[in-house]
Amino acid sequence: MVKRMRLLGFMFHSPMNHTILSWAHPESTQGTEFARPEFWQHIARTLERGRFDGLFLADTFSAYDVYRDSYEPTVRYGVVCPQHDPVVLIPVMALATRHLGFGTTMSTNAYHPYVLARTMATLDHLTGGRVGWNVVTGISRSEYRNLSMEDWLPHDERYDRADEYLDLCNQLWGSWEPDAVIADAERGIYADPAKVHRVNFRGRYFTSAGPLVTLPSPQGRPVIFQAGSSGRGRDFAVRHAEVVFSIQLHARAMRVYGDDLRSRAEQLGRDPNEIKITYGVQAFVGESEAQARELQQEMVERIPLDAALARLSSSLGFDFSTVPIDEPLEQIRTEASQGLVTALTTLYGGTMTVREAAVRWGASVGMPQVVGTPEQVADQLQALHEEGGGDGFNLTPTYTPGSFDMFVDTVVPILQARGQVRREYTARTFREQLLEE
């Protein structure tokens, strides 16, 4: 039996996605149109036409400013800046689609759990049960500064706080019993108070009396996404997530990551089959292999070194202007993202210089790139899927909207013919869609 490949688009609400200066590609309109609803509705319709499971929206709460203690390169080159709020995009795209799910990133630093629980429940109603929450704890110094948080929490404590955050959210989502609403017009009774409960939550970091003020949502709670890379982050992911997203450069690394994650799930008493794993990937599709490789090379050559170093510095929480850029990356250790440093050194063989790592990171943030004709790209994706042992991919575009259109029109039909991806939607909710076999 062929194992189904889950597909999600992977974007920022920004001029670019995961390739620096992708907005400067002659066929990209993202740099000028990313703030317009029509742009996003086109993306959503395209992904739904390709029977994608959903669109995964990344986010940050600040301009990258670790490099040289300045946001100048970030602003100059449009390195995920400006960036608008992805949460408000969801109703716009939901109105243009019927089945596509939407996973949005929301930081546990930026919202009180009660506010987030209310927002996500509302979105779940507005979309008919098609939302997910990518839980992030924040690694950016500038994010803390923007949100009145002077103290940068140590790495593991961020996850301790997030454990409590999720516990409170789950209690709030469960504070209305499913049949609490009666809506009996004749008697004038809307809901049964006996089925609406306070949570009276008092933890180390948060308190909330409850109940949540929204109705029980179609999914009960949003689909929980997480992308833990460190040991503590992976433990958090297997405790809470239904879909875990990871960046691994090749199938062997995917297999190692997946085996480790499933082992951690078993140790925590959770069925590993309850957790789906998706890996980031970027596709360069051309009418010929030469054309696809030319596009790939063109995108890399466009990346300014300053912009690449600015992005790598913020990703790792370390100012790479303070070290020789031809120093091996594995010698750098940071508090901000221990798992990411380990992942990068593993990805790039442990011998890559900072300069080389920055350019590669600026091109695809460590995601594997599949390159070639539609048939070749389908072959590569199938091999990664089968050999890597994952459940699917978060596909980031090279330029938008054109590369999504190309993928949907040329690669998806090949994968459908092989039984790798669905031909039709059958599930009612985003959760059912992602978890069905």
Name the superfamily (CATH) of residues 6-176+205-295+366-435: Luciferase-like domain (3.20.20.30)
Cis check for the bond before 154: say yes or no (omega within 30 of 0).
no
- What's the DSSP call for residue 17? S
pLDDT digits 0-9 by tens, 344-382:
666 666 677 888 889 989 999 889 999 999 999 999 999
Residue 223 CA to residue 392 CA, distance in Å, equals 16
Span 279-308, average pLDDT: 96
- At residue 232, what are phi and psi to the nearest 5 degrees? -65, -35
Return the DSSP state at 329.
G
pLDDT at position 339, please? 56
The rounded mean pLDDT for the chain is 92
Amino acid 415: pLDDT: 98
Which one-letter amino acid corresponds to residue 230?
S
- This prediction's pTM: 0.93
Domain residue limits, the chain: 6-176+205-295+366-435
Q: What is residue 267's predicted lDDT score, i.e. its pLDDT?
A: 94
Per-residue model confidence as pLDDT tens digits over 397-431: 999 999 999 999 999 999 999 999 999 999 999 99
Rounded average pLDDT over 309-323: 87
Write the pLDDT tens digit of every residue in 148-188: 776 667 888 999 999 999 999 999 999 999 999 999 999 99
Q: Band of the pLDDT at 338, cuts 50, 70, 90?
A: low
The two structure tokens encoding residue 342: 């380990």
Token code pair at residue 11? 């974007």
User: What is the per-residue pLDDT for 154?
Assistant: 80
What six digits make up the tokens of 262? 């499933």
Q: Which tens digits make up the pLDDT trace of 86-134?
A: 999 999 999 999 999 999 999 998 899 999 999 999 999 999 999 999 9
Segment 47-69 mean pLDDT: 94
Q: Name the 3-class secondary structure at 45.
A: helix
* Confidence label for 283 from pLDDT (cuts 50, 70 and 90): very high
pLDDT in tens, 63-99: 899 899 999 999 999 999 999 999 999 999 999 999 9
pLDDT for the residue numbered 237: 95
Q: Quick one: CA dihedral 135, 140, 145, 146, positive or negative?
A: negative
